[in-house]
Structure 1
Amino acid sequence: MPQHGTFHWNELTSRDVERDKRFYQDTIGWTFVSMPMDRGDTYWCAIHDGKPVAGIFPLTSPEFDGVPEGWMPYLAVDDVDARVAKAVKAGAQLMRPIFDVPDVGRIAILKQPGGAGIGWMTPVGM
C-alpha cells in the first residue's frame, strides 16, 4: 500500500517509445505490457520480476510539443485535490486539470515553484 509523501511511480516521457523499450529491455531486463489510452496512444507499463515498476508515456500529440523527454516521478498523496490546492497557494503551477486514470488513481501534474515537474497521485485503494 502506498504511503502519503513517498515516491510511488516513475514515468519516462518519450518521443521514440520503441527505442526506449529496447534500451531498458536490453540493459535492465524489463518487459512491457501495453495499455491503451483515451487519446488513442499506447502507454507502456514496464514489468520487472512480474511487477509493474515504471511506465513509458508517448509524447506524440501536438499538446506535448516543447515537453522534454525525461523521467517524471510521482508522489503518493492522501488527497490529490486538497494537496494541489495547498501547492498552488504555495506557488506551484498546475500544468493541466487533475484527472482520473481508471484502476490507477487521481493524478495531478505540477510545476513546483523552482520550475521542476512533479506528478502527485492518490492511488486507487489509498
Structure 2
Amino acid sequence: MVEHGVFYWNELMTRDTVKARAFYENCLGWTFSEMPMDGGGVYVLASLGENPVAGFFAMEGSHFDGVPEHWMSYIAVDNVDERLELAVAHGGEVMRPPFDVPGIGRIAILKDVGGAVQGWMTPSEMAT
C-alpha cells in the first residue's frame, strides 16, 4: 500500500540513456525495459530482479537547455490537486500543473519555498 507523504519514485533525467543504462547495470545490477512515452521518446524502466526501482528518460528539447542531468524525486500524496493548492498557499510554486499518466497516476512538478524542485503524485493505486 502506498502511503501519503513518502518518497515514491525516482527518475533519472539524462542526455545519454545508453551510457546511463550501462553505468547502473554494471554498478548496481539493474536490468531495463522500455516503453513509449506520450508525445514521443522512450521511457526506460530500471528493475532489480522483479522489482521496479527507477525510471530514465532522455532530456531532449530546448526546455532542457542549461539543465544539468539529475535525479528527480516524486512524493506520493493523497490528492495532488488539493495538495498543490496548499503548497501554493504556503509559498510553493507550480512548475507543471497536474497531468495524468494512464495506469501510473496524476503528477505535478513544483518548487518548495526554498526552490527545491520535486514531483508530487497521486499514484493510481491511491486514487479513490
TM bracket (short chain): over 0.9
Q: CA deviation at 1:61?
A: 1.9
Q: CA offsets per residue over residues 54-76 of structure 1, 9 Å max, x none?
A: 00121112222232211111110
Q: Which runs of 5+ in 2 are unaligned?
A: none
Q: What CA distance in whole angstroms lies between the structure 2 residues aligned with 1:93 and 1:23?
A: 34
- Percent identity reads 55
Q: How does 1:21-40 map to 2 (within 5 A)?
A: 21-40=21-40
Q: Which runs of 5+ in 1 are unaligned?
A: none
Q: What count of residue pairs does the alignment treat as equivalent?
A: 126
Amino acid at match of 1:50: E
The DSSP-based 3-state class of the residue aligned with 1:99 is strand
- TM-score, normalised via structure 2 length: 0.94
Does the 8 Å CA contact 2:101/2:107 hold for their aligned counterparts?
Answer: yes
The match for 1:117 is 117
Q: CA offsets per residue over residues 62-105 of structure 1, 9 Å max, x none?
A: 22223221111111000000001100111111111211111100
Runs of 4+ in 1 over 4 A off after TM superposition: none
Amino acid at match of 2:25: Q
Q: CA deviation at 1:28?
A: 0.3
The DSSP-based 3-state class of the residue aligned with 1:25 is helix
The match for 1:53 is 53
The DSSP-based 3-state class of the residue aligned with 1:26 is helix
The match for 1:67 is 67
